[in-house]
Structure 1
Amino acid sequence: MTEVASIVRRVLGDAAADEVLATVDLGHGWCQAPSVATAAVERADVAHALHVVLYADLMEVVPSAAAYAVDQRAAGRGVVLDHAAVRTVAWPAGALPPGIEQVTRILRPLGYERHATYPLTRLRMTGHAYAHLDRPEVVPQWFVSELHPDTFSPAFQDAVTRVLAPSTDPLDTATRDRLARLAADRSLPLDDAVALVDALRRSFGRQHPLPTDRDHDLLRAESAEMAWIATEGTTCNHCTDRVDDVAAVADRERERGRPIKDTVEVSASGRVRQTAHRATTVVRALRTLEGDVVEREVPGSFFEVISRDPLPEGGLDLAFDAANATGIFAMTRPADAGEPGEPA
């Protein structure tokens, strides 16, 4: 059993671990699991295990992702986890660091480094891509986006403040200590690695109370993306399977009646092609100003597929593309929302 699988099994339990480990392809060159709890687990293994755990969590709440996984297992193919995405806000957020620092304070000790920044102008956001320093083609990347409320109306900014101000920090002292030791030593004993992944798993979620229905409406009128963050927070927005032919996969998903995007996004280089399932609809209980509860159907998370061609000089093209990303963001836009940059 690999170190990654050892951590996943101890965090998820046998039943959930059996399912996800039968689904994913963990890649090649992984060391065998340590025989005792004091053996060192490399940071790349910790980073990969966290991603597998978050993918398992996503399959629990995104039915189309779970159905896709069943098909891959039946075909004898392992899902190659390419990247996950989270959304942040460049704005004061209570006990949390503002913007991408909420996530990068976790990614840096795990061994990630930002390798590119993408202006998402139509969304009034910026995307930041993080690849792993040790095994960039095997350990899944992260795409961390940041919304800029200062480019919206004063009323919008006030609503963002009301939503984010009560945020709490999920990282306790023990978790911070383990992150610091992982950053310094680039490894942790197995027991500490398990505890860290379990704690970090809980950090990918909403850290503030649900918004009022009035604030949700106000945010949604100017930014479907901020409205999503208001109800979902830094939940894993999507996970991604790296496939050989994304167009062929999209056609098969369409034949199976799954909610696949109508088109495939192609990067300016032509080497990166992406498409995705439309976001799962979830129900969130929002509060009114009078204190009543109103249930709203809103977009949740989704699942993506991507194809990456080699670079001319060799190695896989791990880049993203601003236009591609903007197209993929549309998967969480409500059906009655306007185009990005227009009132939703």
Structure 2
Amino acid sequence: MSHLATLVASAVGQKAAATILDVLDIAPPLAAEAEGPVSRAVFAMALNAVLFHDIMGRVPLGAAYVAERRAAGCKVLFDHGALRTIDFGDSAPTGALPAGHLAFARILEPLGYQVADLYPLDRLKMTGRAYAHLDRPEAIPQFFVSELHVERFSPAFQVIAHAVFDSTADALGVEAQRALAAFATEGACDLDAARAALPQVVAAFERTHGALRLEHYQALLAESAEAAWIATEGQAFNHATDRVADVEAVAEGQKGLGRPVKDKVEVSGSGRVRQTAFKAQPVERVFVTDAGEVTLTVPGSFHEFISRDRFMDEAGVERLDLRFDSGNAQGIFKMTRTG
């Protein structure tokens, strides 16, 4: 069994691993590695496969689309996953986590990722960072990590944000720390150590703060739908993205099936990157009130589609345009404002 299959199966079970690895379009060298230590590239791909499996369990529309692709004998080319973090400013921690995107830089950088670009999301009072893989940037999914700048909001909002997020726990245990240290120094890790680390790394991409009071949620929502989303969903993938040849055709096809797709396709300033998405999946979340607990329906995560054109870079080398666009991102982020 390949290292990739072994790792994914250890996290989600043999049956689920077989399904997800069958539908994802994975570069052959990543799927073939089976001897010696686990490379950072294979561990990164395994992490992405498990996170893709997780979000498909939370987004039935995305799961239905993926199942249809698989039934038709087609693959899904996982382009990127997106997550949101909290930044209190002045490098202050978020509970037990490092500030904002740094909570994930400590995971992604040892696995071979680096920040490829920075994207101001000023309308949302956020900043996005695209983490691209150094070894296989076109084949291994990127991470779009955004951070919400709490200090740009009202003093009352800041107090409530601390009340909500100061309880954030760190999911990384000794096993994950050791494996990440090995990946950082050697670029590889023993298979057993990698298997022990993967569940802890996956757990970092979840909600890790405590119970949420309804009045706190409502106060955050009044100033920032994105902060309210983080309050209920944490650091889970906000969306996962399928790289397709013709996003416009996919959008029309999904609309024809009666599925709730974004009204228009977002087009980057260069014209080379085009994105659309399903509307966020409504989810039920429990809130605490003085009278007890109450369950409400709130926006969850969603599935996105992207088309990327190739271009000639300044050195005359043809490349896939892996960049993002601040305008596109802010338009796509609106999908979690209504479920």
Q: Same fold (TM over 0.5)?
A: yes
1:51 Cα deviation after fit = 0.3
1:6 Cα deviation after fit = 2.6
Q: Which shifted more, 315-324 or 193-202? A: 193-202
Runs of 4+ in 1 over 6 A off after TM superposition: none
Q: Which residue of 1 aligns with 2:307?
A: 307
Alpha-carbon distance in structure 2 between the residues aligned to 1:179 and 1:241: 28
Q: Give the secondary structure class of the aligned counterpart of 1:205.
A: coil
Residues 120-152 of structure 1, C-alpha deviations (whole Å, 9 max, x = no match): 011010010010011101010000001011111
Q: Which residue of 1 aligns with 2:32?
A: 32
1:312 Cα deviation after fit = 2.2
Q: Give the secondary structure class of the aligned counterpart of 1:315.
A: strand
Q: Which residue of 1 aligns with 2:244?
A: 243
Q: Which residue of 2 aligns with 1:192?
A: 193
* Pick aligned residue for 2:337 from 306, 330, 333: 333
Q: Give the secondary structure class of the aligned counterpart of 2:32.
A: coil
Q: Which shifted more, 89-98 or 274-283? A: 89-98
Answer yes or no: is the 8 Å Cα contact 1:224–1:334 preserved in 2: no
* Pick aligned residue for 2:75 from 46, 70, 78: 78
Root mean square deviation of aligned Cα = 1.3
Note if 1:42 corresponds to 2:39: yes
Note if 1:67 corresponds to 2:78: no
Q: Which residue of 2 aligns with 1:220?
A: 221
Q: Give the secondary structure class of the aligned counterpart of 2:320.
A: coil
Q: Which shifted more, 20-29 or 308-317? A: 20-29
Alpha-carbon distance in structure 1 between the residues aligned to 2:306 and 2:99: 30
Answer yes or no: is the 8 Å Cα contact 2:80–2:141 preserved in 1: yes
Residues 59-90 of structure 1, C-alpha deviations (whole Å, 9 max, x = no match): 11110011011111122111001000110011
Kindly provide the amino acid, as one letter, of the partner of residue 336 in structure 2. Answer: T
Q: Which residue of 1 aligns with 2:323?
A: 319
Flag structure 2 segments of 5+ consecutive residues without an equivalent.
Answer: none
Using the size of structure 2 for normalisation, the TM-score is: 0.95
Q: Give the secondary structure class of the aligned counterpart of 1:29.
A: helix
Answer yes or no: is the 8 Å Cα contact 2:279–2:338 preserved in 1: no
Using the size of structure 1 for normalisation, the TM-score is: 0.93
Kindly provide the amino acid, as one letter, of the partner of residue 110 in structure 2. Answer: P
Kindly provide the amino acid, as one letter, of the partner of residue 49 in structure 1. Answer: A
Residues 168-198 of structure 1, C-alpha deviations (whole Å, 9 max, x = no match): 1111122111111111110011122222222
Note if 1:51 corresponds to 2:48: yes
Flag structure 1 segments of 5+ consecutive residues without an equivalent.
Answer: 336-344
Kindly provide the amino acid, as one letter, of the partner of residue 157 in structure 1. Answer: Q
Q: Which residue of 1 aligns with 2:212?
A: 211
CA pair 177-145 structure 1, distance change in 2 beyond 3 A: same
Q: Which residue of 2 aligns with 1:8?
A: 8
Alpha-carbon distance in structure 2 between the residues aligned to 1:285 and 1:197: 28
Q: Which residue of 2 aligns with 1:297?
A: 297
Answer yes or no: is the 8 Å Cα contact 1:6–1:33 preserved in 2: no
Kindly provide the amino acid, as one letter, of the partner of residue 37 in structure 2. Answer: A
Answer yes or no: is the 8 Å Cα contact 1:118–1:322 preserved in 2: yes
Q: Which residue of 2 aligns with 1:158?
A: 159
1:31 Cα deviation after fit = 6.1
Q: Give the secondary structure class of the aligned counterpart of 2:29.
A: coil
Equivalence map 1:86-235=2 (5 Å): 86-91=83-88, 92-235=93-236
CA pair 2-264 structure 1, distance change in 2 beyond 3 A: farther
Answer yes or no: is the 8 Å Cα contact 2:4–2:43 preserved in 1: yes
1:211 Cα deviation after fit = 1.8
Alpha-carbon distance in structure 1 between the residues aligned to 2:279 and 2:194: 34
Kindly provide the amino acid, as one letter, of the partner of residue 165 in structure 1. Answer: D
Kindly provide the amino acid, as one letter, of the partner of residue 89 in structure 1. Answer: I
Kindly provide the amino acid, as one letter, of the partner of residue 215 in structure 1. Answer: H
Q: Give the secondary structure class of the aligned counterpart of 2:24.
A: coil
1:119 Cα deviation after fit = 0.5
Kindly provide the amino acid, as one letter, of the partner of residue 84 in structure 2. Answer: R
Q: Which residue of 2 aligns with 1:338?
A: none
Q: Which shifted more, 197-206 or 136-145? A: 197-206
Kindly provide the amino acid, as one letter, of the partner of residue 12 in structure 2. Answer: L
Alpha-carbon distance in structure 2 between the residues aligned to 1:125 and 1:310: 29
Alpha-carbon distance in structure 1 between the residues aligned to 2:32 and 2:273: 33
Kindly provide the amino acid, as one letter, of the partner of residue 338 in structure 2. Answer: P
Equivalence map 1:275-286=2 (5 Å): 275-286=276-287
1:291 Cα deviation after fit = 5.4
Q: Give the secondary structure class of the aligned counterpart of 1:311.
A: strand
1:244 Cα deviation after fit = 0.3
Alpha-carbon distance in structure 1 between the residues aligned to 2:302 and 2:114: 25
Instruction: Count the aligned residue pairs.
Output: 331
**Aligned residues with identical type, % of pairs:** 48
